[in-house]
Structure 1
Amino acid sequence: MAENNFPPLPGFIPLKPCFHQDFEEIPDQHRTLCKRFYYLWILYGVTLLVNFFGCMAWMFGGGGVTNFGMSMIWVILFTPCSYVCWFRPIYNAFKTDSSFYFMAFFFVFMAQLFIAIIQAIGIPGWGVCGWLGTISFFGTSIFASIIMLIPTLMFTAVSVISFLALTKVHNFYRGSGASMSKAQEEWVSGAWKNPHVQQAAQQAALSAATGAMQNPQSPQYSTPTYDNTM
C-alpha cells in the first residue's frame, strides 16, 4: 500500500499525512484535467482565505463581527471538506475509471457550485463578501469595500471555472458510456473490487502460505483404541 504523502506537513508537526496523492498514477489522458481540479481546489481555498481578510476589513469598517466569525468557519471547514468531498472522488474516478466515484463527484460538486454562486452573490450575514455586501458597503467605507471586492471577484471566478469544469467532466462521462446503473453495480460489489481489500486478502493468503511452508509437518493424530474387555 502506497505511503500517505498529502498534505505535506513539516516534520516538527506531530501529525501524519492522511492521503496518498501522486498524479503519475493517473492515466495520461486524464492527468491534465485532474491537475486542473487540484488547482481549482487550491484556488477555492485561497479564495476563502482572502475572503477572511475581506471580512476583517468589513468588520473594521463598521460592518459588524458576524461576517468575520463566519468567514473563519468557512476557511476552517470548507478547505479540507472540499478536498475530501469532491477532489478525492474525481481523483479516484480518473485513477480507477469508476462510475461510482464519478457519480459521487457530480452530486457533491454540484452542491459546491451552488455554494460558490451564493458566495459570489454575497448574502449579508453568511460570512462572505460577495457583490451584495461589497456594493452596499461602498457608501460606508470605500477602502474596506475595495478590499472586499477582491474575494468577490475571486468567488465569481471560482463559480465560472467550476461550471466549466463540471460541464467538461459531464461530457466526458456521458461520452464514455458510463451510467447510473453501472455506478449502482460498483456500489453493490465495491467491497470485492476495492484494491485495499484485495491487497489485504492477498497478504493474508501469502502469510498463510509462508507459514505452511515453514511448518511442513502437520500435527499427527493417533487413532483412539478401545478396551473390548468387559
Structure 2
Amino acid sequence: MGDKANNFPPLPRFIPLKPCFYQDFNEDIPDQHRTMAKRLYYLWMLNSITLAVNLIGCLAWTIGGGGFMNFGLAVVWLLLFTPCSYVCWFRPIYKAFKTDSSFNFMAFFFTFIAQLVLSIIQAVGIPGWGVCGWVATILFFGTNIGSAVVMLIPTLMFTAVAVLSFIALTKVHSFYRGSGGSLSKAQEEWTTGAWKNPHVQQAAQNAAMGAAQGAMMQSEPQYSATPNYSYDNQM
C-alpha cells in the first residue's frame, strides 16, 4: 500500500510539482462507505468551485465600485482554503472510511464543523470579507445592479454548500454513532498510536472489508448441497 505513486492532485506535466496524495475510491474505500466518501469529495469540489466563482463575483464587485480589498481577500480564500479544506477535513474522512479509524472520524468532525460555520459566514456575506454573500449582494443592488447580479451567483452557491455541509455532517455523525464509535475510542487510538501505524491501519481495513463481505454473505439465502429426503411415508 505504501509504495504506490501519489496521483492527487492530477497536475499537468508542465507544472514542476508532483501529486501529494494517493487517492483511489475503488481500491481504498470499502463498498458500504464508497458512495458517502465520493459524495464528500464532490462536496469538497463544489466548495472549491464556489470559491473560484466567488473570485469572479468579487471582481464584478470591484469593477462596480466596491473596492479592491474584497477581490484581494477572494484570492486568499481561493488559494488558501481550497487545499486546506482537502487536507484538514476530506483526507481525515477518507482515511476514516478506509481504516475504520475513530481518531480520523474525530479529526473530520472537528474540522468539518469549522468548515460548516465558515460556509454559513460566507453565505451571509459580511461586506469587506471578500465573499459575495446575501448581505453584501443585497446592499450592492442599490449601487450597481449588473455587478450585484453577478455576485448573486456565488451567493447561491455558498448557500448550497452550507446546506449540503450540514446534511453531510449529520449523515456521517449518524453513521459513526450507529457503528459504535465514540470519543473514548478515538482517545485510545491516539494514546496507543494506532492511528498512525500503517500495519494497524491495514489490519483494520482488512477487518472492515471482511465484516462487510460477511454481512453480504449472511444476507444471501443459504441452500444445502445435499438433498433432504423424507422416509416417513415410504413404509
What's 2:129 paired with?
A: 126
Distance in 2 (CA, whole Å) between partners of 1:141 and 1:90 is 42
- Deviation track 1:121-168 (CA, whole Å, cap 9, x = no partner) reads 000111001000000000111100000000000000000000000000
What's 1:177 paired with?
A: 180
Q: CA RMSD in A?
A: 1.5
What's 2:15 paired with?
A: 13
State which drifts further: 12-21 or 26-35. 12-21
Over 3 Å counting, the alpha-carbon distance change for 1:193 and 1:68 in structure 2 is closer
Match runs of 1:16-27 below 5 Å: 16-24=18-26, 25-27=28-30
Distance in 2 (CA, whole Å) between partners of 1:186 and 1:117 is 32
Letter in 2 for 1:153: L
Aligned length: 199
Matched residue of 2:193: which SS? helix
- 1:150 and 2:156 correspond: no
Is the Cα contact below 8 Å between 2:189 and 2:195 reproduced in 1?
A: no
Letter in 2 for 1:3: A
Shift in Å, 1:3: 1.4
Letter in 1 for 2:92: P
Shift in Å, 1:12: 2.0
Letter in 1 for 2:31: D
Over 3 Å counting, the alpha-carbon distance change for 1:151 and 1:164 in structure 2 is same
Distance in 2 (CA, whole Å) between partners of 1:96 and 1:172 is 15
Letter in 1 for 2:186: A
What's 2:32 paired with?
A: 29
Shift in Å, 1:10: 1.5
Shift in Å, 1:196: 6.8
Distance in 1 (CA, whole Å) between partners of 2:98 and 2:200 is 17
Distance in 2 (CA, whole Å) between partners of 1:76 and 1:190 is 33
Matched residue of 1:168: which SS? helix
Letter in 2 for 1:8: P
Shift in Å, 1:14: 1.6
Distance in 2 (CA, whole Å) between partners of 1:138 and 1:193 is 52
State which drifts further: 9-18 or 19-28. 9-18
Matched residue of 1:127: which SS? coil
What's 1:57 paired with?
A: 60
TM-score of the pair, normalised by structure 2: 0.82
What's 1:223 paired with?
A: none
Distance in 1 (CA, whole Å) between partners of 2:23 and 2:171 is 22
Letter in 2 for 1:145: A
Distance in 2 (CA, whole Å) between partners of 1:192 and 1:108 is 17
Quote the sequence identity (%).
Answer: 73
Distance in 2 (CA, whole Å) between partners of 1:192 and 1:58 is 46
Structure 2, unaligned runs of 5 or more = 203-235
What's 1:187 paired with?
A: 190
Structure 1, unaligned runs of 5 or more = 200-230
Letter in 1 for 2:58: C
Distance in 2 (CA, whole Å) between partners of 1:197 and 1:117 is 38
Shift in Å, 1:48: 0.2
Matched residue of 2:121: which SS? helix
Distance in 2 (CA, whole Å) between partners of 1:18 and 1:171 is 31
Structure whose alpha-carbon radius of gyration is higher: 1
Is the Cα contact below 8 Å between 2:101 and 2:195 reproduced in 1?
A: no
Letter in 1 for 2:15: I
Distance in 2 (CA, whole Å) between partners of 1:198 and 1:107 is 21
Letter in 2 for 1:11: R
